[in-house]
Amino acid sequence: MKAYLTRRYMFSASHRLHSPAMSAEENAVTYGKCNNPHGHGHNYRLEVTVSGTVDAQTGMVCNLADLDGFVQREILARFDHQNLNALAQFANAVPTTENLCISIYDILQRGFRLAHLEKVRFEETMMNSFEYAGGKEPKF
């Protein structure tokens, strides 16, 4: 039987939305308050959804301790309490939550082999959320 497992994590980071491809005025119009040159921060809620056949011996899609360990090591340790603009992932990309979704999806997709990655979802604030399923339509 195929089941889907979702785990939520939290990290805090700062960013500034600014595109070198736009003029100062275009940046100010496009990004508004998020273009403040000093940056600002969020408590990001990250949801990771994996899927697979429920193992008859363990009753699990994958061991949560393994997923937690991977996310702690490869994601939280690298992103928590950082300035996203200063990270290699955002050297050439604006650290919007859309791009953050794609970046985190790619890390999981490349490195986590113990279940199938379905989707990454982010809540930047309580009022907005973003999802990325590797270009597929996320499962509702």
Helices (DSSP H) in the chain: which residue ranges? 24-31, 64-71, 77-79, 97-111
Under the phi-then-psi rule, with left for phi > 0, alpha for psi from -120 to 50, and beta for the rest, what region is 17? beta
Nearest 5°: the CA angle 64, 100, 120 is: 35
CA distances, 126 to each of 46, 49, 80, 123 (Å): 12, 19, 19, 6
125 forms part of the interface with other proteins (CB under 8 A): no
The pattern of x and - marking residues 61 through 100 that bind other proteins according to CB under 8 A reads x-xxx-----------------------------------
12 forms part of the interface with other proteins (CB under 8 A): no
Active site residue 34: yes
The pattern of x and - marking residues 49 through 68 that bind other proteins according to CB under 8 A reads x----x--xxxxx-xxx---
Nearest distance from C-beta of residue 139 to other proteins, angstroms? 8
Nearest distance from C-beta of residue 33 to other proteins, angstroms? 29
108 forms part of the interface with other proteins (CB under 8 A): no
Other C-beta atoms closer than 10 Å to the C-beta of 81 total 10
Which region, judged by CB under 8 A, interacts with other proteins, from 1-9, 75-83, 85-93, 121-129? 1-9
Of residues 74, 19, 12, the one with CA closest to residue 48: 74
Chain residues that interact with other proteins, rule: CB under 8 A:
1-9, 49, 54, 57-61, 63-65, 139-140
Instruction: State the catalytic residues.
Output: 34, 81, 124
